[in-house]
A = this chain, B = another copy of it.
């Protein structure tokens, strides 16, 4: 098996925000020279996640707003006694730390409307994501 791994650095600007990293993942796929396999995009943080959906700024805002409603900041969480970000951890747990995308003939098997987002839930911060291609 061939394995190609590379980290992506991301600077987020807001407390909660979706950052489109599709082009960065595509660059790594090209650089790897691998044509078929699977691509794991992994966030090694506990207050961020990976989402695949449509890159439309109103929708990105809707996703963020819905997560804020479902898991509101400061809703009496016990973890907030030591660190004021329980909501960020819980939002990250709901979405999940990674996504895996098939790689077919040199291209990510993304649908026409799909993009890969780094989901920041406790920014702004400098973050790292690992892209790992197995072939």
User: How far is the CB of A126 from the nearest CB of chain B, in Å?
Assistant: 13
Q: Which residues of B contact A58 (CB under 8 A)?
A: 77-79, 81-82, 86
Closest residue of B by beta carbon distance from A98: B100
Indicate whether A21 reaches chain B with its CB closer than 8 angstroms: no
Q: Give the interface size bracket for A toward B.
A: 35 or more
Contact (Cβ within 8 A) A1 B134: yes
Closest residue of B by beta carbon distance from A105: B5
Q: Which residues of B contact A101 (CB under 8 A)?
A: 42, 98
User: How far is the CB of A53 from the nearest CB of chain B, in Å?
Assistant: 5
- Contacts A58-B81, A77-B62: A46 and B89 contacting too (C-beta < 8 A)? no
